[in-house]
């Protein structure tokens, strides 16, 4: 693991603690930082098919949110992580600890909105945003189509509380799709099941009950929106909404189906990311 990279860090111990807390790993030969943020129920390992393509010319930074993967779960604070703001703080604290600037932020699913919120809070840290399957609001509201009714979300949360294993086995294949490759859904289900059910439910509540539509207008960092086909979590209309309301954004509709193209269709994912970055 690289050092924290700060020139005048008044609290080096705190920086080191953050890197341990979030299981931060730094890879690659380049100097420009590229920070990958995983989605709900996942961890940094889900990026393994994509990150090697950027290691030659970027400093690739991977981490786990507190409560996910190999993070320090003892650092989990229910009050801090009751909303997405806690996860935004994780991102900004990792950036501060490594003194990352001019960052290319890559966020999957809920991390797309975490990236938007982080860029709104600390715009000088971020040069570009790559948002994979973003949704600013999952619940239908008047003319806005998020893809779910509130009763759907409440039912999902209740199922998590009553039968977490059953919830994971139901949701993983629906999210992943690509039924001809059941190993992908199996990996996602295993990832769901490796997370503490109480932490997972609170993260799910923070994710699916959030409404960040108004936050989109506060960000003008160049952004790439990668919209998957046949995505039950973030349908096409949601990607189009984000594109309309996020200034300086580019929308790319993918051939990939499901909600996790970095796992199911890594070649297409890399190609679109690279084309936009190089362009």
Give the residue numbers annotated as catalytic, written as ranges.
Answer: 109, 231, 259
CA-wise closest residue to 63 among 31, 95, 103: 95
**Widest pairwise Cα distance in the chain:** 53
**Residue pair 168/189 in contact by the 8 Å Cβ criterion:** yes
Report how far residue 77's alpha carbon sits from residue 1's, in angstroms, rounded to the nearest whole number. Answer: 26
Secondary structure (H, E, C), 30-47: CCCEEEEECCCCCCHHHH
Q: Specify the length of the chain in residues.
A: 279
Report how far residue 263's alpha carbon sits from residue 240's, in angstroms, rounded to the nearest whole number. Answer: 23
Pairing mode, strands 25-27 and 59-62: antiparallel
């Amino acid at each position: 693991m690289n050092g924290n990279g700060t020139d005048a860090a008044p609290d080096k111990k705190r920086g080191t603690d953050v890197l341990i807390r979030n299981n931060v790993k730094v890879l690659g030969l380049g100097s420009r930082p590229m920070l990958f943020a995983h989605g709900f129920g996942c961890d940094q390992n889900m990026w393994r098919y994509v990150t090697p393509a950027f290691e030659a010319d970027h400093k690739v930074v991977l981490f786990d949110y507190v409560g996910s993967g190999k993070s320090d779960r003892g650092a989990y604070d229910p009050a801090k992580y009751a909303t997405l703001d806690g996860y935004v703080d994780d991102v900004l604290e990792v950036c501060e600890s490594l003194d990352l600037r001019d960052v290319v932020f890559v966020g999957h699913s809920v991390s797309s909105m975490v990236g938007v919120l982080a860029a709104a809070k600390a715009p000088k840290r971020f040069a570009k945003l790559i948002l994979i399957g973003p949704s600013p609001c999952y619940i239908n509201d008047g003319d806005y189509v998020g893809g779910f009714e509130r009763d759907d979300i409440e039912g999902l949360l209740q199922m998590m509380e009553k039968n977490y294993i059953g919830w994971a086995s139901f949701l993983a294949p629906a999210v992943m799709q690509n039924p001809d490759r059941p190993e992908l859904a199996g990996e996602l289900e295993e990832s769901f099941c490796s997370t503490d059910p109480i932490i997972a439910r609170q993260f799910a509540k923070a994710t699916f009950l959030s409404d960040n539509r108004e936050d989109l207008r506060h960000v003008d960092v160049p952004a790439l929106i990668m919209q998957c086909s046949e995505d039950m979590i973030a349908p096409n209309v949601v990607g189009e909404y984000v594109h309309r309301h996020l200034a300086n954004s580019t929308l790319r509709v993918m051939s990939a189906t499901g909600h996790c193209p970095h796992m199911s269709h890594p070649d297409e994912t890399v190609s679109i990311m690279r084309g936009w970055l190089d362009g």
